[in-house]
A and B are shown apart, each in its own frame.
Chain A
Amino acid sequence: MIRCENVTKTYSKQDRPALDSVTLEVAKGEFVFLVGQSGSGKSTFLRLILREEKVTSGRMYVAGKDLSTLSQWKVPEFRRGIGTVFQDYRLLPNKTVSENVAFAMQIVGAAPKEIAREVPEVLELVGLDDYGHRMPAELSGGEQQRVAIARAFINKPQILIADEPTGNLDPTMSVGIMKLLDRINRTGTTVVMATHDDKIVDQMRKRVIELENGLVVRDQVRGIYGYSG
Chain B
Amino acid sequence: MRAGFVTKEVLNGLRRNITLTIAVVITVAISLSLLGVGLLANSQVRVMKDYWYDKIEVSIFLCGQLSDSPTCSGGPVTAEQRAQIESDLKTLPIVANVYYESQTEAFTRFKERFKGTALVDNVTADQLPESYRVKLKDPKQFAIVQSAFSGRPGIDSVQDQRTILDKFFKLLGVLRDGALAIGLISVLTAALLISNTLRIAAFNRRRETGVMRLVGASNFSIQLPFLLEGLISAIIGWGIATGILSALKSLVDARVAPLLTFTNFFGWADVWNASLLLLLTGLVVSAIASFLTLRKYLKV
Contact = CB atoms under 8 A, between A and B. Distances in A.
12 contacts: A73-B218, A76-B300, A80-B216, A90-B214, A92-B207, A104-B211, A107-B215, A107-B216, A107-B221, A109-B1, A111-B2, A112-B2
A95 to B, nearest CB: 9
A77 B217 CA distance: 8
A77 B216 contact: yes
A187 interface: no
A151 interface: yes
A78 interface: yes
B139 interface: no
Contacts of A78: 216
Contact of A151 (B2, B210, B215): B215
B207 to A, nearest CB: 6
B210 A90 contact: yes
Given A84-B214, A90-B210, A92-B211, A76 B4 contact: no
A107 B219 contact: no
Contacts of A73: 218-219
Query: By CB atoms of chain A within 10 A, which of B4, B212, B214 has the most?
Result: B214
A112 B213 contact: no
A78 B218 CA distance: 10
Contacts of A104: 211, 215
- Please list the 10 inter-chain residue pairs (A to B) with the smallest Cβ-Cβ separation, ordered nearest first: A80-B216, A79-B216, A104-B215, A107-B217, A76-B218, A106-B5, A76-B216, A84-B214, A107-B215, A109-B1
Interface string B282-300: 0000000000000000001
A96 interface: no
Interface string B263-292: 000000000000000000000000000000
Contacts of A93: 207
A61 interface: no
A110 B300 CA distance: 21
Query: By CB atoms of chain B within 10 A, which of A72, A90, A103, A106 has the most?
Result: A106
Interface string A53-81: 00000000000000000001101111111
Contacts of A103: 211-212, 215
A24 interface: no
Given A109-B1, A109-B2, A112-B2, A79 B213 contact: yes
A108 interface: yes
Contacts of B212: 103, 107
Contacts of B166: none
Contacts of B221: 107
Interface string A29-53: 0000000000000000000001000
B163 to A, nearest CB: 63
Contacts of A79: 213-216
A75 to B, nearest CB: 6
A106 B210 contact: no
A106 B213 CA distance: 13
Interface in B239-258: none
A169 B59 CA distance: 98
Contacts of A81: 216
A92 B208 contact: yes
A109 B216 CA distance: 11
A10 interface: no
Query: By CB atoms of chain B within 10 A, which of A81, A103, A107, A155 has the most?
Result: A107
Contacts of A108: 215-217
Interface in B1-58: 1-2, 4-5
A90 B216 contact: no
Contact of B300 (A75, A109, A151): A75
A96 to B, nearest CB: 13
A112 B2 CA distance: 9
Interface in B186-240: 207-208, 210-219, 221
Query: By CB atoms of chain B within 10 A, which of A72, A93, A109 has the most?
Result: A109
A159 to B, nearest CB: 12
A154 to B, nearest CB: 9
A84 to B, nearest CB: 5
Contacts of A107: 1, 212, 215-217, 221
Contact of B2 (A72, A80, A90, A106): A106
Nearest to B6: A106
Contacts of A77: 216, 218
B207 A155 contact: no
Interface in A87-128: 90, 92-93, 103-104, 106-109, 111-112
A62 to B, nearest CB: 13
Contact of B1 (A72, A75, A84, A106): A106
Given A109-B2, A155-B216, 18 more contacts: A72-B300, A73-B219, A75-B300, A76-B219, A78-B216, A79-B213, A79-B214, A82-B216, A84-B214, A90-B210, A90-B214, A93-B207, A106-B1, A106-B5, A107-B1, A107-B221, A108-B217, A151-B215
